[in-house]
Amino acid sequence: MNIQQRIGVLWLIMLAGFVVHTLLGLLPVFFGQSVAMPNAQEGDLAIATWMTLATTLLPLLLAMLLVAWQGNAPRWPNLIVAVLFLLLNLVHPLETLEAEVTPWHQLLLMAFMIVLGVVLVVQSWRWVKQGE
Quote the pLDDT of residue 49. 93
The domain spans of the chain are: 3-28+53-130
Asked if 35 contacts 103 with a C-beta cutoff of 8 angstroms, the reply is no
Low-confidence ranges of the chain (pLDDT < 50): none
pLDDT of residue 101: 76
Which phi and psi (to 5°) does residue 67 adopt?
-80, -40
Residue 20, pLDDT score: 96
* Whole-number pLDDT of residue 103: 87
8 A C-beta contact, residue 85 and residue 17: no
Cα atoms in the 13 Å half-sphere on the side-chain side of 41:
3
pLDDT at 24: 94
Write the DSSP string, 70-99: -SSTTHHHHHHHHHHHHHHHHHHHHHHHTS
